[in-house]
């Protein structure tokens, strides 16, 4: 597993964190298809969320490599997660990605050891997303100069930390809170409906098996961003929506009500993403992923709600 994690992190650095994450989305969709078709191989655990394309490994390896390349003067923007680092022909940049792949794998194993018998339905958060956030923070501390929360320019300080504008923006066309919420409602509806439909047609096992489908669709859709097309970033909306829907179904809520709760969590995920973008990303000199932070926070809220209702 550690060897695979090194390879996954190095590959994520080579092609760029964003491109590696797009592969995550594609392989998630493949894995869901294998799972609902009765396949025996754990594709999701070994490939999509494992050492090959797990976001805590491949994506985080790409993020760390970009931060290191910026420190070494090879890359102009340490938040550039779209560029493949292999173009610098510098082996140490790729090795950094591989090392952070190992850190990501080991970190998730440790987080998964946190006792789960705390009444939250067998879980407490999305440990992969939490590790992505922690790994990104580590790479900033090690390679960045702005500090964990970043440094505000005079212009940004005049606006306030939580006002995104000018050069301090994550995704320009969804930076407004209202726009983000509307996108979240739509994306949440997709993630929630897929889980609800799975429950109606196949029961709880099928609903659980398709819970990451919306996430896979969202992640794969980011390929349009690499093509220069406007495309919303929504995986921090579809996944919390799906998790919340599943939690409600497990608690005995009718499928219609569970889906509506999921839609709400889609909007919550969208707003959390914008909050974390302003907290960690837009004023920093390396990338700390807003969706990963929104997913672990939104998933925790979903588990807490499921515990309270159930």
Q: pLDDT tens digits, residue range 279-304? A: 999 999 999 999 999 999 999 999 99
Spatial CB neighbours of 310, under 8 Å, sequence gap ≥ 6: 121, 247, 250, 251, 252
The residue whose two tokens read 């923007």 is 77
Same domain, 260 and 187: yes
Our measurement of the distance from residue 160's CA atom to the centroid of its chain's CA atoms, rounded to an integer in Å, reads 26
Region 234-238: mean pLDDT is 98
Domain that holds residue 231: 151-310
pTM: 0.96
Q: Residue 153, Cβ neighbours under 10 Å: how many? A: 13
Is-contact 21 48, C-beta < 8 A?
A: no
Instruction: Give the separation between CA 306 and CA 165, rounded to whole angstroms.
Output: 37
Dump pLDDT digits (tens) for 110-148.
998 876 554 444 578 999 999 999 999 999 999 999 999
Nearest to 85 by CA among 70, 99, 100: 70
245 and 139 housed in the same domain: no
On whether both 137 and 186 belong to a single domain, the answer is: no
Among residues 116, 144, 172, which one ends one of the domains? 144
Share of the chain residues as helix, strand and coil, in percent rounded to the nearest 5: 70, 0, 30
Residue that finishes a domain, picked among 144, 170, 204 = 144
Same domain, yes or no: 67 and 198: no
Does the CA dihedral 21-25-30-31 come out positive or negative?
Answer: positive
Coil/strand/helix, residue 289: coil
Are 88 and 182 in the same domain?
A: no
- Where does a domain end: 89, 114, 144? 144
The per-residue pLDDT for range 57-68, each reduced to its tens digit, is 999 999 999 999
């Amino acid at each position: 597993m550690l060897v695979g994690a090194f390879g996954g992190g190095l590959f994520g650095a080579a092609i760029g964190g964003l491109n590696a994450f797009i592969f995550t989305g594609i392989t998630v969709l493949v894995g869901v298809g294998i799972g609902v078709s009765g396949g025996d191989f754990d594709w999701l655990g070994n490939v999509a969320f494992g050492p090959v394309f797990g976001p805590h490994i491949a994506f985080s390896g790409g993020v760390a490599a970009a931060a290191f390349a910026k420190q070494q003067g090879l890359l102009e923007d340490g938040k550039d997660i779209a560029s493949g680092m292999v173009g610098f022909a510098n082996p140490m940049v790729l090795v950094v990605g591989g090392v952070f792949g190992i850190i990501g794998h080991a970190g998730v194993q440790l987080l998964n050891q946190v006792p789960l018998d705390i009444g939250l339905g067998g879980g407490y958060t999305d440990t992969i997303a939490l590790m992505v956030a922690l790994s990104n923070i580590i790479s900033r501390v090690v390679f960045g100069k702005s500090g964990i929360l970043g440094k505000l320019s005079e212009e940004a300080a005049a606006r306030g930390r939580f006002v995104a504008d000018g050069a301090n923006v994550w995704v320009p066309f969804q930076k407004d809170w209202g726009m983000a919420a509307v996108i979240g409602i739509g994306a949440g509806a997709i993630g929630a409906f897929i889980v609800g439909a799975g429950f109606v047609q196949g029961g709880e096992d099928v609903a659980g098996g398709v819970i990451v489908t919306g996430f896979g669709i969202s992640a794969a859709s980011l390929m349009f961003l690499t093509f220069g097309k406007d495309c919303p970033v929504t995986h921090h909306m579809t996944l919390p929506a799906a998790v919340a829907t599943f939690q409600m179904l497990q608690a005995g809520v009718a499928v219609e009500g569970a889906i509506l709760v999921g839609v709400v969590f889609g909007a919550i995920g969208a707003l959390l993403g914008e909050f974390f973008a302003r907290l960690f990303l837009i004023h920093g000199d390396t990338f700390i992923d807003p969706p990963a932070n929104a997913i672990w926070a939104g998933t925790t809220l979903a588990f807490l709600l499921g515990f309270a209702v159930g």
